[in-house]
Amino acid sequence: MRVVTLNTWKGDGAYAARLTAMTEGLARLQADVVLLQEVFDAPSLGLHTGARLAEHLGLHAVHLPLRDKKRTVEGLHAESRSGLSVLSRHPIRDSLSIPLPSHAQDGERAALVTEITTPSGPLTVTNLHLTHLEEPDLRQRQLAAAQLVAKRAGTALIGGDFNAAIESFALEKSGWRDCRTEMGQAARSTLVGHPDGPCLDHLLWSGHGRTPKSWRIDLDRVTADGHPMVSDHCAVVVEMGD
């Protein structure tokens, strides 16, 4: 089973070209589950990154709109939201939103929990985007809030943009493990065009059954003038085996 997590960078940059490249890139990856953050949703413009990708990739989808704000996309101003989406090759049986601790300077934060029915058993996937603020312990409290309800029967995953190195979280006390470090791989930058940057995007797992078999980054290409072709974040691609 292939799982991909990607921060889609809202409507920034060359959005239409990026969305086309994102669709083509995810089609090539043939993921079974895709976790998307900063999902741009501007109803007045008929734009929704998650819905567009799900339609073109033929995947089941659930969306969580968050963080209302007037934004600009390719010169057009519109009321929009920056939320979360989970796309799945297998049916999504149920989903729920978990409010996360937040800060007035940051705004609304939540996690999207989905229960997916796969041929080899139930899979619970929690998608989140933790705060960018360096507020003491705020990210840790946000992750802990998600972990409280993220475990279900079978395999459970928590993934997304953590806005911090995984080593800053006390996973050894949580019952969750990081796929990259479990594979013995060194940290790699997940920011496009910044090879010496931080590793901010992660996938954690818990439970019995599936275990990580590989971890890598993808969709990290830049255009001829050095701009991100897909997003300012790379995609993290994890193969989970039985």
pLDDT digits (tens, 9 = 90+) for 194-237: 999 999 999 999 876 688 999 999 999 999 999 999 999 999 99
Q: How far apart are the first and last CA of the chain?
A: 9
Provide the residue range defining the domain that includes 93.
Answer: 2-241
Q: Tell me the pLDDT tens digit for each residue of 181-196.
A: 999 999 999 999 999 9
In the prediction, which pLDDT does 153 show? 65
Which CATH number do you get for residue 19?
3.60.10.10
Q: Tell me the pLDDT tens digit for each residue of 2-40.
A: 999 999 999 999 999 999 999 999 999 999 999 999 999
Q: What average pLDDT does the chain have? A: 94
131 confidence band (pLDDT: 50, 70, 90): very high
Q: Give 72's contacts (C-beta < 8 A, 6+ positions apart).
A: 11, 78
What domain count does the chain have?
A: 1
In the prediction, which pLDDT does 29 show? 98
Average pLDDT over residues 88-101: 96
What's the rounded Cα separation, in Å, for the pair 109 and 133? 12
Task: Give the C-alpha distances (Å, rounded to integers) separating 132 from 49, 99, 103, 203.
Answer: 22, 17, 11, 18
Q: Using CA of residue 198, residue 82, residue 96, residue 133, what is the dihedral sign?
A: positive
